[in-house]
Structure 1
Amino acid sequence: MTICASEDATSLDSPHRAALTITADGSYAARLARHDDAAGSWFPERWTIGGPEPYAVPLPGSQPEEPDSELLPLADGRVLLLRRVADRFTVSLLYPTDPGTREVLLGAVPADTLTLLPPTPRGTLGYALAPGTRGTALWLVHGGAAGPERVAVVPGRCTGGAWLDHDGRLLALDRELDGRTKTVVVDLARGCPASPLLQITERSNDRLLLADPDSGLLLVRSDAPGHDRLGWGVLGSSLPVRFPECLRAPGMAVTPFALQPGRMLLPESCAVAFRIDAASGTWLGVWRPAGRRLRQFRAPEGWLAGAGLWTRDGELLLPYATDAVPCGMARMTVPPEPVAVRVAAGPVVGQAAAVGTVDAVRPVAVPVAAVPVAAVPVAAVPVAAVNGSGITHSGGGIVPDAAHTGIDSTASPHLKVIDTEPHTSATHPRLCRPVPLQQAPLGAREAR
């Protein structure tokens, strides 16, 4: 499919669905694959990627799958299958047996639409959203006492979904209510009503794209600047949201899909991986909040676009599938760039004063040859990027990820968590509520 994105198009209401879903711990993944036959029917496929060599196991169910069937890999290696059947959705568990596949029906959910949420941090439960006339129902489709259970109804129409802690207790959702979209957070342990998380202005549409519980880094999209822009903030921080100029990519759709974990209290040094789509193809982008540009790279041949994960050491793992290698994992390391810091001349108008900002730079230009090319999948090939008036190449490949020392870090409070992934309203310790993020001024000298 050819994607023609207008200026500042940054994954609007219908973002690209990742071709592969990966568990939070990076041990397993699942996707719908196609049979190599005339019918080209679909079947579930589980990837084991936590070992030294990735391998795939086909898990054909009791019938060929439709392209809109959804899969959720679990931490124990089983795969949750969501299948539309007439006016409802059936939920089944798939796992390999000798021989064939075992399919266990868990139950059904009556709904016009049912969408699986991203894998939970511990990978033992499965949740789904079902928009309705009175609100959006949150279903626990796996892990309940007796089949799928409706655990909450959130007023408005909810989409998205991001986990804010390591225990699967705080779930952030993008809620459309009264003509505006704001991100809210639901405490699954207490069954509390949704509370505000992201509200830049009263009239803006603000969505949360990704969240990292370690660093507190949040990737957001908002039209508060006047049109849809990508921005970043820190969970629980009083500092305002920033909208970097380098993430404005005319003619391209820029969608974040992976955040580097383990950067405790260091959100500015947390690496972010982007899928970049344009008329000329699809490729990769890597950016850090402390950096001054979106570094662009060719994707490995056969990359399952929009899928990947960072290791704590700063290595980006990119799954790919080709005729020669039906299940592969490319590894790529992009070290941080030196960052020149200037101290702001005056305080930022808002809830807090900025301790330092970086001068804005112009967007990275569209590469001359951005279409992914055949490459050795062990290391991604860098794409030329604009830097000043000349063309240079971004550094990358198999190199150690150096520690970042270019900018002071913003400390963010961390949430008190519990030991298990709750789905009932049992008694739990007091939890600090996330602080709603506010807007940063959009002057050129304050954007970064």
Structure 2
Amino acid sequence: MNPSTAPATGRHVVPIRPASEADDDKETKRPRRSFGKVMKLRSGRYQASYAAGGKRHLAPVTFQTKGDAAAWLDMRHAELLEHRWKPPPPAEPDKVHFKDYGLQWLETRDLGPKTRAEYKRMFDGPRVSYFHPFTLDEITPVMIKAWFDIQDPAHPTARRRAYELVRAILATASKPDEDTDAPALLASSPARLTSKTLNRRPPGADAKPKTRIKPASLAELAAIMDAMPDRYAAMVLLAAWCAPRFSELTELRRPDLSIVRNAKGKPTSGVLHISRAVVWPEPDKAVVKENKTEAGLRDVSIPPHILAPLLDHVDKWAAPGPDGLLFPAVESPIKHMKHGALYKVYRRARKVAGRPDLRWHDLRHTGATLAAQTGATLAELMNRLGHSDVKAALIYQHAAADRDAEIARRLSAMAEEAVQTSGGYSPSTETTANSDKGP
């Protein structure tokens, strides 16, 4: 009988059909692993990991197939069972160049526009760029000190600021990433110069004399204001009596000035609302920024005697519109006044007043000293000046203490004058008389 024509009984016949994907899954499906994990990555490769010694360990490489990853885990499992397992050595740190890390540091720091521009200028400058070719781990304390020593000692402020920038960058590299818990790139920062080294003067150089700011007197303030052009006079008043910074003063707008009038229309009180400042990261680029600290956001009461001149200034010189600048640039009412434009007229005015040494910022110092002399507390001074640092405000209270000695001297002179004119009580006279009587 021809086998092809033999009837099928069905007892020993296996039907033939195409293999399906479901059959493949049944054949390749394996039970869940009891040791380690295998995870498929987006790239299509496989990553193996296992827990041992109280932490999870990743395979040093990824695998082409799941089977290869499983075989690697089986070997690690065997090592553990046979007590041959040792913790894998720590991974080699990445070789990150100072230049690359420094640029990333500048981009991610919370800096003001002017500070960021200044840091970038220093980072690209000849001092800090010395470290650009080196990786972070190649920079050592010896290298830092040698670099600092070759910087020109004739410019101590510039070389110290360059060091402070390098130190800040390396300090961040020596700490774990707070967001990702990534390990630190450096075990410790190599920038560890002592104060003695930082403050060391070159051989033969004289000690820098300590200069003390001399506030302007009321007569000098009046002379300066009279010598200034009319559109600048109110700036002198506000700088000396309300003590805003120049960057805050030149960003003041009409809504920032609140003045209360009585029934007759006469100004009786006023408040200066300070919340913004304008900075110049580039010579021709003005950036308005919000004051970041709570201390910088403040309301300063305006002394009543300068209210009328301020209102007159607003009527004549402030930029038009509800949001106009109080002290706009001369060439355009929508542009901010630059420091250089002010100094063109201020230099002549301070010279007329006999104070060629008085910087514009010293008018702020003058206002702070005057406030301290009225008996303002430390907290009140800090609020008026926008200081968050107690040390800065204490400077002006020291000035008030010097003034207090002068007040005491005048009180004694007043008492002596009263004794001479009326024969009244004199502590020194009575003390002498009582001493003659004996005990």
**TM-score normalised per structure 2:** 0.21
User: Quick check: which one's helix share is greater?
Assistant: 2
Instruction: Give the number of the structure whose alpha-carbon radius of gyration is greater.
Output: 2
User: Quick check: which one's strand share is greater?
Assistant: 1
**TM-score normalised per structure 1:** 0.21
Greater relative contact order, per chain length (Cα 8 Å cut-off, separation 6+): 1
